[in-house]
A and B are shown apart, each in its own frame.
Chain A
Amino acid sequence: MKVVVCVKQIPDPALPGELDPTTNYLKRDDKLILDESDSYGVEMALQLVESAGGGEVSLVSMAANNEVSGLRTALAMGAEDAVLVSDDALAGSDALGTARVLAAAISRMSPDLVLAGVESSDGYTGTVPEMIAGVLDMPSITFAKQIEVDGNTVKVQRQTEAGYDDVECQTPALVSVTAGVVEPRYPSFKGIMAAKKKPVEELDLAALGVDGSTVGQGGARQETVRVTDAEERQAGEVIEDEGDAHEKIVEFLGELKIV
């Protein structure tokens, strides 16, 4: 079984984010890391291949600046190899442009199953996986909390507002994985060393046969007209509990006529 996992490399979410004042793009100057949301997809893929008794997990990623450090993390977890699409023309790509590029890369890899996180931790549009399936004209199941592959059938528990649905379809298919559904493994020292030698194929748009005008800022056909500071919510009273804080809460609730 061949599983391709879409991974995004993002600025460290622990650091304060910033928009570039001229382009209004998210600043990505510092080292990028593997998006935690995607580590669940990588782990899920590794587990599926292990329980299928064989196969391989490949990664696909897109970045404007040949960044590979996030990919190395996923390779260290156990993925075999990676394809990185990098091209200056990609800057400012929206979800659809991103999906076109990733789909073009994936179609060269002929996977049985494509996995992706439901949404990234920086852009969180939550639409790219379904768009990739759309470009590839492939069935898809989004918001998976559990995945099982049985021969050519993929069976998924799909999260819903009310609970979950059992959904299944034939492979090849794309499944998007919700965060927290598996425990991503920590790369071992051996894994980290091995990852340094694993192949990362770098492709540009020409190599993929993607028309540059359909991606990047031009392809996005949308314009950031302004960025404003949101009205700040004012902090109120902060007190140290000295054994009577609960009384303060009851009083506060009383003023609001909750109690």
Chain B
Amino acid sequence: MSVETILVFGEGDESGPSGLTLELLAAARDLATNVEVFVAGDGAAMATELGSHGASTVYSTGPIDGKLMGVHAAATLKVHLESQAADAIFFGQTPDGRDTAARLAVQLDQPVVTNNVGASVEDGALVVEEPVFGGTQNVFTAFRNDGPALALFRPKSFEAEATGGAAAEVVTVDTVDPGVAGAATVTGRHVEERSGPQLDDAEVVVSGGRGLGQPEAYEMVDELAGLLGAASGASRAIVDAGWVPYAKQVGQTGKVVKPNVYLACGISGATQHLVGMKGSKNIIAINKDPEAPIFGVADLGIVGDVHKVIPALIEALKSR
């Protein structure tokens, strides 16, 4: 087996392909001679940008309205692969990416490897890298299957970079009906209003955790974030406790962030959280417990009470 064609499962919206899709293109380009994209949606609208990031062809189903995407995308992909083979399929680790990869794995009877942050080709086989134990060790897994290697990658694992290629050729693909398994219907969509910098691409992120003590204290985090032009985030503990919405969660099961500065307020630094923010360029942590694991990754660690340090910091910033 060798890796000549990699198919990227492309996601995005009316504004274009997602950042993660472009990251996957960068990774695929490094490994394969031919990189293609499959979009369960309006791929034609993304062709220019996908092409400039190295995709030769975009296979597009057109909009899949009113249905949960994964099972439909997988049924269509399976038939598509019968005529357009790929040596590997790269998925972003998103809800639809996971659903599609999982359904496709069953249909093709091929393994999926998830949570990857790196990829290489060794002796003709795709090898993927997955961090374990909170990123303290990396496991390298080689695909030994006879068929496409299905791999899911975490966001921010690769650097997206335009290569200046021409628009990708758009090929329309007929959707395949998955039958009774495709019965789930989307009856409404709710977008939680978010203003200000977004977690994904903010220069500065201020996050709060259980050490804040009570939900009202999160207002300090928001105020501090506002003063710094930062996005506000949270640990899983306070998301699970219902203090803030899931969209703010930073960590293994939430967002992966790599800002210039990450300021952790009252966050102990559970593995689940560290995985999502360890890649930040600079980390400041405020926590009462001098033994908190967060201090192991902080460039500046403050052993102190968030209820004293943050208000003082807010005052200092206001008076500047």
| Contact surface of A with B, Cβ cutoff 8 Å | 16-17, 19, 24, 94-96, 99, 118-119, 124-131, 133-135, 137-143, 145, 158-170, 173, 178-180, 220-230, 232-233, 235-241, 243, 245-250, 252-253, 256, 258-259
Contacts and interface: CB of A to CB of B under 8 A. Distances in A.
B77 to A, nearest CB: 13
Given A224-B141, A225-B127, A230-B131, 11 more contacts: A134-B105, A139-B184, A163-B189, A163-B190, A166-B187, A227-B138, A229-B138, A233-B278, A239-B301, A240-B304, A252-B284
Nearest to B280: A233
B83 interface: no
Contact of A165 (B101, B142, B186, B296): B186
B260 interface: yes
Nearest to B113: A222
B95 A134 contact: no
B204 interface: yes
A125 to B, nearest CB: 4
Q: Which 6 A-B pairs have the closest CB atoms?
A: A241-B304, A180-B240, A134-B106, A130-B102, A238-B301, A236-B299
A127 B102 contact: yes
A133 B260 CA distance: 41
Contacts, number: 261
Nearest to A162: B191
A178 B203 CA distance: 29
A163 B95 CA distance: 12
Tell me which of A161, A166, A223, A250 has the highest count of chain B C-beta atoms within 10 A of its own C-beta.
A161
A224 B299 CA distance: 34
B190 A250 contact: no
Given A127-B102, A236-B299, A143 B95 contact: yes
Given A126-B114, A159-B246, A238-B298, A226 B191 contact: no
Contact of B302 (A135, A163, A249): A249
B138 A245 contact: no
Given A168-B187, A249-B302, A160 B284 contact: no
Contacts of B140: 224-228
5 contacts: A130-B103, A141-B68, A158-B68, A162-B192, A230-B131
B111 A245 contact: no
Interface of B: 68, 70-71, 74, 93-95, 98-99, 101-103, 105-107, 109-115, 122, 127, 131-133, 135-146, 152, 179-192, 203-204, 228, 236, 239-242, 246-247, 252-253, 260-261, 263, 278, 282, 284, 286, 290, 295-305, 308-309, 312-313, 315-317, 320
Contact of B179 (A137, A170, A223): A137
Interface of A is mostly: mixed
Contacts of A125: 112, 114-115
A160 B246 CA distance: 10
Contact of A137 (B135, B181, B302, B320): B181
Contact of A230 (B136, B189, B241): B136
A158 B181 CA distance: 17
Nearest to A237: B300
Contacts of B247: 161-163
Contact of A179 (B107, B139, B187, B236): B236
A236 B298 CA distance: 6
B313 A221 contact: no
Contact of B99 (A130, A135, A180): A130
Nearest to B200: A161
Nearest to B94: A161
Contacts of A232: 136
Contacts of B139: 19, 24, 224, 227
A141 B234 CA distance: 26
Contacts of B102: 95, 99, 127-131, 134
Given A134-B106, A224-B141, A227-B139, A238 B303 contact: yes
A252 B11 CA distance: 38
Nearest to B241: A180
A124 B276 CA distance: 14
A256 B102 CA distance: 43
A126 B135 CA distance: 18
